[in-house]
């Protein structure tokens, strides 16, 4: 009776049509009676977006960890509240005057949260070259002051979400979120892969960061791939590398977070100006203190539009982009995490989706404390299907057997190319949320989570694939 009562509660909450489901619903058979998932926390909901008919439901009102399916909620909210044409601005400013070719003051780069600045993931122009070109066009041959990264737009005490795990912090996928990003806030560390059991020494980093110490305790072993992890605090010029990499590979690259991307941006801009023939007397630095005196804007860089950022966020499960979008929901409140969460809830309350009992810790799904039900996500997906922003959301979702994180999902099956969804994967958890284009007339929204199965995530994925193939006939 739990399945039927869950379906009834959903129908009452969202005005959905109640199907004739017995206790032997497909999800109950596939997950509730399978040794792999019988003792796991499972939530499944499949709904026809047009009619509201519940195709299948099992544990659909349970609050479960989301992993990266949280990005569906974050990006949908941003499209609704900010609009697909929203852009971030990054300004080159000064507090001095230009006299006889000398800029008599400091040069500031003031950020507003653009995650794509100098990104390797999303083309956004060469910001450093644009700044140098602008100064040269103004006749500047020398800067008498410093090059300062202005991080004052957001509260940098929340650069790393307090819900993230220590084992994730320091790695590229859990980089700090600042109003100024640079090159995806990712530090590429090249290690010397030597004989088995030897310690891999650090050869270089890209970009090169003045004052940064990376200590390696990484062992070269028989592992097949990168099993190295970084540890460190935001803004701290020290990173510890531990774990393993394959032996005898020569130069081997691993990726860490960039401790202070604003500072690195300032350092790189100073170096670029020197290369362009603009002398700079002062050093590069970063500041979280708001401007004490008026400044003049010399150049404004505009980011790609939000729809392009959303596409990178969902297609490649980009945590930095997701978290920057999330904090931008509260840019008028210093990027406050608490305000961003409240605006997500308020956005969907006004659209008929009740998230008041959900647990929203971050925007990417990296925090294991996140809790959404399949009802929550399907409610959002069903609303978005009727939204003017549906095209942008759909275009951002990986396609089964075709693209992004779903390239291997349902590959070669009759559902390849018909499922558009965001996947979510962390240790002991597999989740999916999106749309199934059954035929020319039927489109289903679905959400499913399998947490703590008695097997690998790969085995769970195969079970979910079999379930969907049995459901869509």
Least trusted range by pLDDT, from 18-22, 23-27, 243-247, 447-451: 18-22
d(CA 295, CA 92): 10
Query: Domain limits at 226?
Result: 87-304
What value does the mean pLDDT take over residues 62-87?
98
Look at residue 3 and tell me whether its pLDDT is greater than 50: no
Does one domain contain both 424 and 331? Answer: yes
Look at residue 315 and tell me whether its pLDDT is greater than 70: yes
- Spatial neighbors of 23 by CB under 8 A, at least 6 apart, are 1, 3, 4
261: CATH:
3.50.80.20
Question: What is the torsional sign of CA 280, 282, 285, 287?
Answer: negative
Does one domain contain both 114 and 58? Answer: no
Does one domain contain both 37 and 148? Answer: no
What pLDDT, on the 0 to 100 scale, is given for residue 433?
Answer: 98
| 252-277 pLDDT tens trace | 999 999 999 999 999 999 999 999 99
75: CATH:
3.40.710.10
| 38-66 pLDDT tens trace | 999 999 999 999 999 999 999 999 999 99
For 218, the 3-state DSSP assignment is coil
Least trusted range by pLDDT, from 18-32, 230-244, 348-362, 373-387: 18-32
Other CB atoms within a 10 A radius of the CB of residue 332 amount to 9
DSSP 337-401: HHHHHHHHHHHHHTTT---TT-B---SSS-STT-BB-HHHHHHHHHHHHHSTTHHHHHHHS-BTT
Look at residue 18 and tell me whether its pLDDT is greater than 80: no
DSSP 221-278: ES-SS-EEEEE--TT-SEEEEEEEEESS-EEEEEEEE-S-HHHHHHHHHHHHHHHTT-
Does one domain contain both 218 and 97? Answer: yes
Question: Regarding beta strands 89-94 and 107-110, do their DSSP bridges make them parallel or antiparallel, or are they unpaired?
Answer: antiparallel
- Indicate the pLDDT class of residue 14, thresholds 50, 70 and 90: very low
Q: Which of 281, 304, 327 is the last residue of a domain?
A: 304
| 120-147 pLDDT tens trace | 999 888 999 999 999 999 999 999 999 9
Does one domain contain both 137 and 9? Answer: no
What pLDDT, on the 0 to 100 scale, is given for residue 30?
Answer: 87
What pLDDT, on the 0 to 100 scale, is given for residue 25?
Answer: 60
- Indicate the pLDDT class of residue 419, thresholds 50, 70 and 90: very high
What value does the mean pLDDT take over residues 342-362?
98
Does one domain contain both 175 and 141? Answer: yes
Does one domain contain both 271 and 397? Answer: no
Per residue in 219-247, is it b (16+ CB within 10 Å) or e — as a string?
bbeeeeebebbbbbebbeeebbbebbbbb
Does one domain contain both 40 and 129? Answer: no
**Token pair listed for 412:** 């070669």
Look at residue 16 and tell me whether its pLDDT is greater than 70: no
Look at residue 8 and tell me whether its pLDDT is greater than 60: no
Does one domain contain both 318 and 204? Answer: no
d(CA 163, CA 212): 26
| 80-122 pLDDT tens trace | 999 999 999 999 999 999 999 999 999 999 999 999 999 999 9
Does one domain contain both 283 and 312? Answer: no
Q: Which of 276, 304, 332 is the last residue of a domain?
A: 304
| 215-245 pLDDT tens trace | 999 999 999 999 999 999 888 999 999 999 9
What pLDDT, on the 0 to 100 scale, is given for residue 169?
Answer: 87
Q: Which of 304, 336, 351 is the last residue of a domain?
A: 304
**Token pair listed for 376:** 């929550």
Question: Regarding beta strands 89-94 and 296-302, do their DSSP bridges make them parallel or antiparallel, or are they unpaired?
Answer: antiparallel
> For the chain, what percent of residues have pLDDT higher than 70?
95
What pLDDT, on the 0 to 100 scale, is given for residue 26?
Answer: 87
Does one domain contain both 239 and 353? Answer: no
Q: What's the pTM value of the predicted model, to 2 decimals?
A: 0.93
Look at residue 13 and tell me whether its pLDDT is greater than 80: no
**Token pair listed for 53:** 């008919």
What value does the mean pLDDT take over residues 399-409?
97
Look at residue 7 and tell me whether its pLDDT is greater than 70: no
CB 68 within 8 A of CB 423: yes
What value does the mean pLDDT take over residues 174-193?
97
CA distances from 316 to 10, 171, 306, 328, 448 (A): 31, 17, 15, 20, 20
For residue 279, the Cα-to-chain-centroid distance in whole angstroms is 38
CB 159 within 8 A of CB 176: yes
What pLDDT, on the 0 to 100 scale, is given for residue 296?
Answer: 96
Does one domain contain both 358 and 369? Answer: yes
Q: How many structural domains is the chain composed of? A: 2
What value does the mean pLDDT take over residues 397-423?
97
Report CA dihedral (344, 348, 353, 355) to the nearest 10 degrees: 20
Look at residue 11 and tell me whether its pLDDT is greater than 80: no
């Amino acid at each position: 009776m739990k399945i039927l009562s869950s379906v009834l509660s959903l129908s009452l909450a969202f005005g959905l049509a109640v199907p004739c489901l017995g206790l032997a619903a497909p999800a109950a058979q596939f997950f509730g009676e399978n040794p792999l998932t019988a003792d796991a926390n499972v939530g499944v909901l499949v709904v026809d977006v047009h009619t509201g008919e519940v195709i299948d439901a099992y544990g659909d009102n349970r609050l479960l960890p989301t992993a990266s399916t949280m990005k569906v909620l974050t990006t949908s909210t941003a499209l609704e509240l900010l609009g697909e044409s929203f852009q971030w601005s990054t300004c080159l400013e000064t507090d001095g005057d230009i006299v006889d070719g000398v800029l008599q003051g400091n040069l500031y780069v003031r950020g507003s949260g653009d995650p794509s600045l100098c990104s390797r993931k999303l083309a956004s122009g060469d910001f450093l070259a644009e700044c140098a070109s602008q100064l040269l066009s103004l006749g500047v041959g020398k800067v008498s002051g410093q090059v300062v990264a202005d991080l004052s737009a957001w509260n940098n005490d929340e650069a790393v979400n307090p819900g993230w795990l220590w084992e994730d912090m320091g790695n590229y996928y859990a980089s700090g979120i600042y109003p100024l990003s640079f090159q995806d806030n990712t530090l590429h560390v090249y290690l010397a892969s030597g004989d088995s059991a030897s310690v891999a020494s650090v050869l270089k980093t890209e970009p090169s960061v003045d004052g940064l110490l990376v200590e390696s305790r990484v062992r070269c072993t028989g592992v097949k791939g990168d099993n190295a992890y970084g540890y460190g605090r935001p803004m701290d010029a020290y990173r510890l590398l531990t774990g393993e990499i394959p032996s005898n590979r020569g130069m081997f690259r691993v990726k860490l977070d960039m401790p202070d991307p604003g500072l690195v941006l300032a350092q790189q801009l100073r170096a670029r100006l020197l290369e362009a023939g603009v002398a700079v007397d002062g050093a590069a630095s970063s500041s979280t203190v708001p401007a004490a005196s008026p400044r003049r804007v010399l150049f404004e860089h505009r980011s790609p539009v939000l729809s392009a950022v959303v596409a990178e966020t969902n297609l490649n499960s980009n945590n930095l982009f997701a978290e920057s979008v999330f904090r931008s929901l509260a840019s008028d409140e210093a990027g406050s995490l608490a305000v961003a969460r409240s605006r997500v809830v308020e956005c969907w309350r006004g659209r008929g989706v009740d998230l008041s009992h959900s647990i929203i810790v971050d925007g990417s799904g990296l925090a294991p404390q996140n809790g959404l039900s399949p009802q929550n996500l399907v409610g959002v997906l069903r609303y978005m299907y009727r939204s003017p922003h549906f095209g942008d959301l759909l275009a951002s979702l990986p396609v089964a057997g075709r693209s992004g994180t779903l390239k291997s999902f349902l590959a070669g099956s009759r559902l390849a190319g018909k499922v558009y969804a965001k996947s979510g994967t962390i240790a002991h958890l597999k989740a999916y949320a999106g749309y199934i284009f059954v035929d020319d007339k039927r489109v289903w929204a679905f959400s499913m989570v399998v947490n703590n199965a008695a097997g690998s995530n790969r085995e769970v994925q195969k079970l979910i694939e079999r379930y969907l193939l049995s459901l869509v006939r």
